[in-house]
Copies of this chain bind each other. A is one copy, B any other.
């Protein structure tokens, strides 16, 4: 497999668009010998960009219903920095279990392994392999291939960024006035309680603004949100 993988990484350079990347992902499926390979990038604005081997039907459904919001793989990996086996994610919610059942019905494997990747400007992507082996076989497989998976994940992401840059402009959603108010006070060093008092609103309401701003900015936490808002000029302190 090593030889094929190296050849693949070289051939990857030829990809010029999403179709090229999708073809590359299909090749990867063969090389890795798994049921599915998925590259899935989610930008700050919530825009998605993917090259994968799932059925078109499942992809459409996933996008239409905005499943990224409940997908434990996306949500879980967004909080982590290490590759993770799907089994270690939190599938306990009702929505999550329903999502899992539906995914499997659409041909997604019972086993999965996802590598989170982060790029500049808060870019976040997932590189995933999925299969239907037994727990034991899958554990052995992932252990044996984790290095290759991480390597390929970064190559593919690099390529995707290169392709994406040609077209997209990652437009972050504008913040509402109150969100700017809240974020400004927080950036000025106020605690949530102080900021809420300054704005004459409840602390909870202030929290809602901060959370909403975090979401719009694709930020992991409040500090991140402030940093992104400042670097994009939405906030001037």
Q: Which residues of A contact B (CB under 8 A)?
A: 79-82, 118, 122, 147, 150, 154, 177, 180-181, 184-191, 194, 197-200, 219-224, 226-228, 230-231, 233, 235-237
Residue in B80, B118, B186 whose beta carbon sits within 8 Å of that of A188 in the complex: B118
Residue in B80, B200, B221 whose beta carbon sits within 8 Å of that of A79 in the complex: B200
Asked if B79 and A187 make an inter-chain contact with CB atoms under 8 angstroms apart, the answer reads no
Give the complex CA separation of A231 and B189 in angstroms.
Answer: 13
- A81-B197, A223-B226 given. 19 additional CB < 8 A pairs? A79-B200, A80-B177, A81-B180, A81-B185, A81-B198, A82-B177, A82-B181, A118-B184, A150-B236, A187-B223, A188-B227, A189-B219, A189-B227, A190-B220, A226-B226, A226-B227, A227-B230, A230-B230, A231-B237
Asked if B226 and A237 make an inter-chain contact with CB atoms under 8 angstroms apart, the answer reads no
The interface residues of chain B lying within 8 Å CB-to-CB of A230 are: 227, 230-231
In the complex this chain forms, how many copies of it are found?
Answer: 2
Give the complex CA separation of A237 and B197 in angstroms.
Answer: 30
A177 to B, closest residue via Cβ: B82
- Interface residues of A, dominant DSSP: helix
Known contacts: A80-B181, A82-B180, A237-B228. The answer to whether A220 contacts B189 by CB under 8 A is: yes
A199 to B, closest residue via Cβ: B79
Known contacts: A81-B180, A200-B79. The answer to whether A189 contacts B221 by CB under 8 A is: yes
Closest chain B CB from A112 CB (angstroms): 17
Residue in B122, B180, B181, B184 whose beta carbon sits within 8 Å of that of A189 in the complex: B122
Asked if B189 and A223 make an inter-chain contact with CB atoms under 8 angstroms apart, the answer reads yes
A234 to B, closest residue via Cβ: B82
Closest chain B CB from A129 CB (angstroms): 17
